[in-house]
Structure 1
Amino acid sequence: MRITVIGAGFAALTAVKTLRKQSKSVDITVIAPKAEFVYLPSVIWLPTELRTADDLRIDLTHYFTKMRVNFVAGKVQKISDDGRQVFTETESIENDALIIAGGGRFIKKLPGIEHVLTPCEGIQVGEKIRERLAAMKSGTIAMGFGGNPKEPTAMRGGPMFEFVFIIETLLRKQGRRDQFKLVFFNPKDKPGVRLGPDVPGKLMSLMRKQGVETHLGHKIKGFTEKSVITEAGEIAADLILFMPGMTGAAWLDNTSLPRSSGGMIAANEHTQVAGFKHVYVAGDAGSFPGPEWQPKQAHAADIQAKVAATNALRLLHNDTAELDKIHHELLCIIDSLSHGIFIKRNDKGATFLPPLRIMHYAKRFFEKRYLRQYRG
């Protein structure tokens, strides 16, 4: 019994862990550019030097050996035979079941977007933000996020809220906050509403208390090296941090996999891909039925990956038990470098705890505990 997992991020590693926990004999193959895991949630701390690149980059060689994983280094190009074959640049890998957990990509279509820094693109961008901040003596820093108009769930707003609060705290701790103007921008009147109905108002109130200006409800038309261009005018800026909306990976264009209107792989509540037997999707690569507030975040990816791995094994074993379903949950701590805002949302409602110092340390503790399982 052979199961191939595409990716080496949150969803992919949780799929591997779940598969091996439930089956000692299943043959697991992972395909990814590197046997490396990057803990993206902590990129927010790179500009502050609370974390270094080496803290966030985990060599998975030891973990894959321990889990008896066959690792194939490469970038997926296409699949064939209804998912039973996966092609990289140099190899073809056969499987009995396929779990696609290779993530999505940011939509880089706005004019001038080459002038912005997109934090969740990885460690190098986090380091670049640190360098730019250190070199600035004064100026305006504009921070915001957009979305995929055809896929409302395909956005990452949480990290941008964190960058606003973290940079404000950092500048204050450095004694130079008065030399900088901070502006948060978003095309929505109520950014962050997916976190909970009352959350946008609370977050904007916190920003105002910290002297952060807001530019909300105006469509983003593009960027220049020194400005954010919206339909209501321009925001002059010396540094622009912007998180675009997301869509599916480029290699999906070489497949007949069903796609949502926003370009993600369309799946059902069991993570199954319609029309492709024994093909599943988890994490940022997928589009799932469910509430409009469902998030693109590590916690959601882990939930989906457990469902995908469990159902893949169950169906390969012809188990007649009912298939697992995704139970959507949003869980995050919006960090400010000194405090953290705890937010949780599920089908029972939403919880918002105002900034607490203990939540900052809770976020750091969770990072340490999460990474321990993958370190050599």
Structure 2
Amino acid sequence: MKKVLILGGGFAGLEAAIFLRKDKYDVTLVSDRDFFYIYPTSIWVPTGETRFQDICVDLKELQKAHGFDLIVDGVETIEAASRRITLKSGDILNDFDYLVIAMGASKMKAKGIENSLSICGAPQQSLLIKEKLDELIAKGSGKIAFGFGGNPNDTSAVRGGPGFELLFNVHNMLKKRGLRDKFELNFFAPMPKPGARMGEKALKMMDIFLERTMVQKHFGKKIKAFEEDGVIFEDDSKLQSDFTMFIPAGDGHEVVKSSDLPKNPAGFIKINDFCEVEGFENIYAVGDVAAIEGPDWRAKQGHLAEVMARNVAHNINEKEKNRTNKKGYQEHLNILCVMDSGDGAAFVYRDDKKARMIPLPIVGHWLKKGWGKYCRLSKLGSIPRIPGM
């Protein structure tokens, strides 16, 4: 039985493990944490609508359900040419036929970034955001800033949607508590039109949302630094804030940057359409760790990471059976999300032919809640998987 080593236990790595096990490969999954984290539903942890443990799935339960081997450890180095992986514990892994790299991305580090917290950072940061919000609510008033950044070397590495979602959920939480008029909510981003990748119609609707919720906009100024009491922009103007939630753009994983793997200017692994790493045999990269090629609006999202992972499982199987019907990720490039607002949601979709944003009052919120439960149960094999989800 051929052996596959997977580095990373997020959406991409776990999906690859599940589908490779379906084809009876000997799979070892390496993850630096002992749980799978459902990031899209983490937006409700800070508002207290969801418990932290409810969006964590024990990897040992997933291991039992699917039959892969599990190593909970961090990756220290990757030596692709010599097919040698060194873990933070000092253990060395070199007995594998295929390597799938799914370690995600690092984050760009602006000056003073420690003065902010990110809903897309380490999972525990969602709890720290909740603590900050609870402190301000106990105080009875405050100024809160939400924002996200960009990576000039790779525009696909921007992740702003969760920032908008958390903003709108906090707005609705404060409104329900009768405190909204006591808080100043701000949204900032260095690009002139944050969210433009979703399409013009969606951009206009987002502006309407921001106006309706009385959110002050600060767009088009590069971020110079973060301080305890606010954000400094390139013109030295300051956005005052008692608490700042900021999602940095993705950057090449530090382990990848120091490896012999081929990288684009941002440090993401260069791959072809079939997720094969350029210049290496039987090594694949999927999800945020990979350099995604395509139109300017392309974005790294969980559903694309899973498509890439399933394709890799298929492509490995094709190779083992001496067949050539490989699958690529390019035809699946799109933006797809249900952007939650706490009292509803909006369905967002974009591809090369169309861009749509459809309001889903009330029901959209519960649809996304339902997806979170579906994600957990389907990953555990407790309910059937819906094709494409």
Sort the TM-score into its range (normalised by shorter chain).
Answer: over 0.9
2:115 is matched with: 115
Distance change in 2, residues 1:279/1:129 (3 Å): same
1:351 matched to 2:356? The reply is yes
Q: CA shift at 1:83, angstroms? A: 6.4
Distance change in 2, residues 1:290/1:83 (3 Å): farther
CA contact 2:201–2:356 (8 Å) conserved in 1: no
Three-state SS of the structure 2 residue aligned to 1:296 is coil
Q: Which runs of 5+ in 1 are unaligned?
A: none
Distance 1:91 1:370 in 2: 32
Distance 1:260 1:133 in 2: 38
Q: Which runs of 5+ in 2 are unaligned?
A: 383-389
2:133 is matched with: 133
Three-state SS of the structure 1 residue aligned to 2:152 is coil
Distance change in 2, residues 1:62/1:296 (3 Å): same
| Percent of aligned pairs with the same amino acid | 33
Three-state SS of the structure 2 residue aligned to 1:164 is helix
1:192 is matched with: 195
Distance 2:245 2:112 in 1: 13
Of 146, 149, 153, which residue of structure 2 is paired with 1:150? 153
Distance 2:51 2:372 in 1: 14
Number of aligned residues: 373
Residues 109-168 of structure 1 show CA distances to partners (whole Å, capped at 9, x for unaligned) of x22111111111133211111111111121111111001111111011000011111111
Of 272, 276, 300, which residue of structure 2 is paired with 1:272? 276
CA contact 2:9–2:36 (8 Å) conserved in 1: yes
1:8 is matched with: 9
Q: CA shift at 1:254, angstroms? A: 3.1
Give the TM-score of the pair, scaled to structure 2: 0.92
Distance 2:310 2:177 in 1: 43
1:310 matched to 2:317? The reply is no
2:77 is matched with: 78
1:344 alignment partner AA: Y
CA contact 1:77–1:254 (8 Å) conserved in 2: no
1:293 is matched with: 297
2:43 alignment partner AA: I
CA contact 1:60–1:374 (8 Å) conserved in 2: no
Distance 1:138 1:355 in 2: 30
2:49 is matched with: 50
Distance 1:83 1:196 in 2: 45
After TM superposition, the structure 1 = structure 2 runs for residues 99-248 of structure 1, keeping only pairs within 5 Å, are: 99-108=100-109, 110-136=110-136, 137-232=140-235, 233-248=237-252
Residues 176-197 of structure 1 show CA distances to partners (whole Å, capped at 9, x for unaligned) of 0010011111111110111123
Give the TM-score of the pair, scaled to structure 1: 0.95
1:177 alignment partner AA: R
Three-state SS of the structure 1 residue aligned to 2:157 is coil
- Deviating above 4 A after TM superposition, structure 1's stretches of 4 or more consecutive aligned residues are none
Distance 1:112 1:300 in 2: 32
Distance change in 2, residues 1:177/1:323 (3 Å): closer
2:373 is matched with: 368
Distance 1:62 1:182 in 2: 40
Aligned-residue CA RMSD (Å): 1.6
